[in-house]
Amino acid sequence: MLDLAVLGLLKEGDLHGYELNKRLKSLVGGYSTSFGALYPALARLERRGWVSSAAVAPELIADEEASEGPARRSRKRSAKPKSGRTRKVYHITEAGEDHLLELLQEDANNERRFRLQLAFCRFLTPDRRLALFELRRAHLVSLQAMARRDPVQSTDPYVRSLFEWDQERREHDLVWLDRLIAGERNSQPSSQTTDPMIDADRSDFPTGGQPQ
Amino acid sequence: MLDLAVLGLLKEGDLHGYELNKRLKSLVGGYSTSFGALYPALARLERRGWVSSAAVAPELIADEEASEGPARRSRKRSAKPKSGRTRKVYHITEAGEDHLLELLQEDANNERRFRLQLAFCRFLTPDRRLALFELRRAHLVSLQAMARRDPVQSTDPYVRSLFEWDQERREHDLVWLDRLIAGERNSQPSSQTTDPMIDADRSDFPTGGQPQ
DNA sequence: GGTTACATGTAACTAGTTACATGATTAG
DNA sequence: CTAATCATGTAACTAGTTACATGTAACC
């Protein structure tokens, strides 16, 4: 799953491990990565040919940064290296991009994975993206059905409370997903399905609709 | 974490592995346990002295069942053994009960653990239980604060949608927890044990489990 | 006579976390 | 001068899943 996150971030631009870790932390709340997982993951990705790496010596780092963004230099006192240690900057390969697209579409039964898929689904074509959302929706619906099929058998108030919590959350998640799917259909009315019942109540869609 | 679930279930009565697995499945949606985790966990619990086990030969099983629950026998055609294989029936020890109480109070940063703690928090004293809920609440509030401190920096609609989802869920969870805490405070204005309903229900639920 | 449920286990794999080791640079 | 931040990595541990191995017995 880290693979998905790392490839997704690298698709936006080359990064070194330490920076990747910071981005992962801010990416999705609750997805705090540790170096102990990240560095071995990067090594694995490189062995499999999905990323390539280049060592950047400390004296070169300042130039790199400068050439990338010549503005914002004024605040810095000097063009001295930010780090005294060689960075390993990773770059996603073509095979890595293919693999990323696969990872973005697989499964639907894992919430944590779906969160990452959502975070990077802009790299999918609109129809693939819609398919992903529908897959997730089908999974949630099947969870709902399962929960309804055998309801709580316990009389303990805390256990009952727990089940009610689950129930509410599942319902809420479905509403949210439906909003997402509706937004997707509105901004992408072409494709194969001519669904007649979609834009009945579309006037307030707070989550921005147009993908880039 | 399986330890918590297993000890909690065994506190209600002795069980063998296969039955434990069924109960775990029905206990909390999403907490599907596999035998590959359960049996090693049971072995570990026994090594540490938290549970003890007794082998029950197939010809004895019918009697055991009968002596435990004399009702519900009518549906059965015979008093013949249900299994052709010796069961290993597990029993929680005193040390195991102590350990369970510890597990019920530790941490608050893990949702999955909190679910299990909630499922078995009836074994805690009312003040300890309230402390557990408050601990969880503090954790959720700190997550909220963290999310508000550095908001979404991405302009991608899907990433923004993901963050909104998180936000809504955290708010919803807090409301739910507050309801739980309020209920706890109402039924428990001071610190005194009013022993809530303790009634382990005897009923064989036909949970459609899948074979391994 | 084949499918399902009962029953216990092992092996290999997935997906991480926590703690440690090492060392440079920078801000107060 | 010391604490924080930058930077890369390893080792040991936690907490599981999936697939396999093995066999009985009840159901239809």
CA distance B99 to A116: 37
Q: Which nucleotides of strand C lie under 7 Å from a protein CB?
A: 4-12, 15-20, 23-27
User: In sequence order, what are the residues at sequence separation of 6 or more whose Cβ sits closer than 8 angstroms to the Cβ of residue A117?
Assistant: A4, A103, A104, A105, A132
pLDDT digits (tens, 9 = 90+) for A124-167: 999 999 999 999 999 999 888 888 888 888 899 999 999 999 99
Nearest one of B18, B198, B22, B17 to B91, comparing CA atoms: B17
pTM of the model: 0.81
Contact A207, A179 (CB under 8 A): yes
Share of chain B above pLDDT 90, in %: 57
pLDDT greater than 80 at residue B43: yes
Tokens of A162: 């727990």
When CB atoms are compared, the residue of A28, A115, A208 closest to B157 is A208
CA distance A116 to A24: 10
Q: What is the mean pLDDT of residues A68-97?
A: 66
pLDDT band at A190 (very low <50, low <70, confident <90, very high): low
CA distance A160 to B187: 16
Q: Which helix (H) or strand (E) holds A141?
A: helix A126-149
Judged by a CB distance cut-off of 8 A, whether residue A159 touches chain B is yes
**Residue A37 CA, nucleotide C7 C1', distance (Å):** 37
CA distance A21 to A154: 43
For residues B104 and B27, the model is more confident at: B104
Residue with tokens 């975070």: A119
pLDDT greater than 70 at residue A199: no
For residues B56 and A95, the model is more confident at: A95
For residues A25 and A101, the model is more confident at: A101
pLDDT greater than 50 at residue A205: no
Q: Which helix (H) or strand (E) holds B56?
A: strand B51-56
Beta bridge partners of A87: A56
pLDDT digits (tens, 9 = 90+) for B109-164: 889 899 999 999 999 999 999 999 999 999 999 888 888 888 888 899 999 999 99
User: Would you call A29 and B147 a contact, using CB atoms and an 8 Å cutoff?
Assistant: yes
Q: Which helix (H) or strand (E) holds A51?
A: strand A51-56
Q: Quick one: pLDDT at residue B146?
A: 85
User: Would you call B121 and A162 a contact, using CB atoms and an 8 Å cutoff?
Assistant: no
CA distance A179 to A185: 10
pLDDT greater than 50 at residue B190: yes
Q: Which of A34-43, B30-39, B194-203 has the lowest mean pLDDT?
A: B194-203
Q: Quick one: pLDDT at residue B105?
A: 95
CA distance A24 to A6: 8
Q: Quick one: pLDDT at residue B26?
A: 81
Share of chain B above pLDDT 70, in %: 73
pLDDT greater than 90 at residue B54: yes
Query: How confident is the prediction for chain A on average, in pLDDT?
Result: 81
User: In sequence order, what are the residues at sequence separation of 6 or more whose Cβ sits closer than 8 angstroms to the Cβ of residue B151?
Assistant: B163
pLDDT greater than 70 at residue A80: no
Contact A103, A7 (CB under 8 A): yes
Q: Long-range contact list for A58-62, CB < 8 A, 24+ apart?
A: A58/A83, A58/A84, A58/A85, A58/A86, A61/A87
Contact B117, A162 (CB under 8 A): no
First-to-last alpha carbon distance for chain A, in angstroms, is 25
**For B110, which residue in chain A has the nearest alpha carbon?**
A30
